[in-house]
Structure 1
Amino acid sequence: MPLHPEIADFVANLQPPEGPLAPAVLRAAEEQQVAPFAERLPLHAVDDTVARTASGGIPVRIYTPVEADAYGLLVYFHGGAFFLGSLETHDHVARSLARETGLKVVSVGFRLAPESAFPAGLDDCHAVVRWAAAEGESLAWDGKTLALAGDSSGGNLVAAVAARAHDDGFDRITHQVLYYPSLDLDFDADRYPSLRENAVGYGLETAGLKPFNAFYTGSGADPADPRVSPIKRADLSGLPPALVVTAEYDPMRDEGELYGRRLREAGVEATVSRYEGANHGFVQNFSRIPEFHQVFTETRDFLRRR
């Protein structure tokens, strides 16, 4: 189907960054788009705190959907090519996840490139997952569901954390949810058909992938390393069940769908769900559109199946 008309209008008026990419400038512009507090989805409680971990003190924002005695937990990693995004810019995503799934959501303010070299951000995400399990009593964790979710580069971190936890023998993670994940930081346009099919005109463009991710790869993140490009991990067996959401008009569509197939081939329960008419970033930018807001109810249903 064609690109959704509301997305098409947005893309038609999108202005590319001028001059060299400057993290501080791009972050400031992104923060200006954050909705005022009064317009945000209300929940029972939203609390900012610091997770005290072996990786140091890590800011987290905890979303409690309703008052209850116990909750499943969902740890959320925001997107932004490893150098953009924050607890604020993705606050609305975390709120929607909490409201629709009924889980208590822990959103992670992990360290960003280039100021913090690889693997700082990955270490932070992994540490908060371990912290959430260790702090289960204070979080009113039900001891059952401990899910991970992330969009774009956050999906990359979900896959990398799930793999690292498996290798460490930490088996408490029950689900992984990857929204249009960036799983292969080798951006050779011949690697996946979608890199050519969706190269231009859909918001995120193939030519922009390498420079946007250069802040991460330039900080020591080697695209050949499975911790950086999780699709390069040789053995995917033993990982948690996965929901991989892709977008029809996303240059990175095919790597996400290949990852889902490889998980299934390794014996992992994996669902791949392509959203027609959507582009990269639709969960963050266009989930107010009813047919795209469905991604949160699909996430809920996936989490409840096990």
Structure 2
Amino acid sequence: MTLHPEIAKILSTLPAPDGSPLNPEAMRAGEAAQVPPLEERLALYSVEDATAVTPSGEVPVRIYTAAEADAYGLLVYLHGGAFFLGNLDTHDHVARALAKETGYKVISVGYRLAPEAAFPAGLDDCYGVVRWAAEQGTRLGWDGKNLAIAGDSSGGNFAAAVAAKAHDDGFDRITHQVLFYPSLDLDFDVDRYASLRENAEGYGLETAGLKPFNSFYLENGADPADSLVSPIKRDDLAGLPAALIITAEYDPLRDEGERYGQRLAEAGIAASVSRYAGANHGFVQHFSWIPEFYRAFEETGDFLNARAGQ
């Protein structure tokens, strides 16, 4: 399948990369300007801003409840943005859709960003919120059984790293992980995965942009050889939570996500990989208004609820 025509149309309006240094403040402001007003967002039963008190400090979170129920599975959501972009508002629509389609109570994490916060600050925030969610189970209405983590792009990196960190710490409450086009290998050798060459240019995220976009993270203490930075480098994947990995056909990062799913399955983990035809990197955030891409949220709900309590 070719790139979806709606995606192609929008990409055609964007300026070509000119090699200029990235400006985090300007890029964050640009993202903020695109956040729709509250009245245009998906209405839910409850949306609450709160603060999670964790060993790494106080972390802002936003808690989404789609409908009133006696108890809920919990889904901790970690937004993407190459470790230096994104916040609770830029990915608010993603969290709302996840709450609606899963029925879980979604906790979106406003973790600290690079370059202002050095590694492992953001990761520690994410892990701390997962532990906090379990500790606050009674207040959150947790069913005590289902605790999922999900993330897109760099948020998928954090989700995979959190799952590994929890396993190593003996915290066995995480039941599911959902990774949307995850960035799992921060060693950007272009020969490592075929998709880095096949989808190198013309699809939004470009292979040549991976190093500069991730430089704010890698130049602030994150070592790509560390499996908490590049989760695909972890030697033993046994014991990790069941996984759904959603990839995009026209994404330079496609193959590392799919390889990770394969490795999880080889380690005995219930893992499935779902490639979205015609999609590019970021489609869950930017193009979920297209029905066939909104399906990613529905698929997530199917996965979480089919495995509920397992």
Alignment TM class, shorter chain as reference:
over 0.9
Q: Deviations over 1:162-221 (max 9, x none)?
A: 000000000000000000000000111111000000000000000000000000000010
Q: How far apart are the structure 2 equivalents of 1:243 and 1:5?
A: 27
Partner of residue 146, structure 1 = 147
Q: How far apart are the structure 1 equivalents of 2:15 and 2:293?
A: 24
Deviation at 1:15, TM superposition (A): 2.1
Deviation at 1:67, TM superposition (A): 1.1
Q: How far apart are the structure 1 equivalents of 2:277 and 2:21?
A: 33
Give the 3 Å change call, closer, same or farther, for CA 16–24 of structure 1 in structure 2.
Answer: farther
Q: Aligned partner of 1:128: which letter?
A: V
Q: How far apart are the structure 1 equivalents of 2:36 and 2:57?
A: 30
Q: Deviations over 1:226-279 (max 9, x none)?
A: 000000000000000000000000000000000000000001010000000000
Q: Which runs of 5+ in 2 are unaligned?
A: none
User: Helix, strand or coil for the counterpart of 1:260?
Assistant: helix
Partner of residue 130, structure 1 = 131
Partner of residue 3, structure 1 = 3
Q: How far apart are the structure 1 equivalents of 2:184 and 2:13?
A: 28
Partner of residue 197, structure 2 = 196
Q: Which runs of 5+ in 1 are unaligned?
A: none
Q: Aligned partner of 2:48: which letter?
A: D
Q: How far apart are the structure 1 equivalents of 2:200 and 2:130?
A: 35
Q: How far apart are the structure 1 equivalents of 2:8 and 2:101?
A: 27
Aligned counterparts, 1:163-202, within 5 A:
163-202=164-203
Partner of residue 14, structure 1 = 14
CA RMSD, Structure 1 to Structure 2 (Å): 0.7
Aligned counterparts, 1:95-244, within 5 A:
95-244=96-245
Q: Deviations over 1:6-40 (max 9, x none)?
A: 00011111124663111111000011110111100
Aligned pair 1:289/2:287, yes or no? no
Q: How far apart are the structure 2 equivalents of 1:196 and 1:68?
A: 48
Q: How far apart are the structure 2 equivalents of 1:8 and 1:33?
A: 19
Identity %: 72
Q: How far apart are the structure 2 equivalents of 1:29 and 1:106?
A: 25
Deviates more, 1:9-18 or 1:244-253: 9-18
Q: How far apart are the structure 2 equivalents of 1:267 and 1:238?
A: 8
Q: How far apart are the structure 2 equivalents of 1:17 and 1:59?
A: 33
Aligned counterparts, 1:29-48, within 5 A:
29-48=30-49
Q: How far apart are the structure 1 equivalents of 2:232 and 2:7?
A: 29
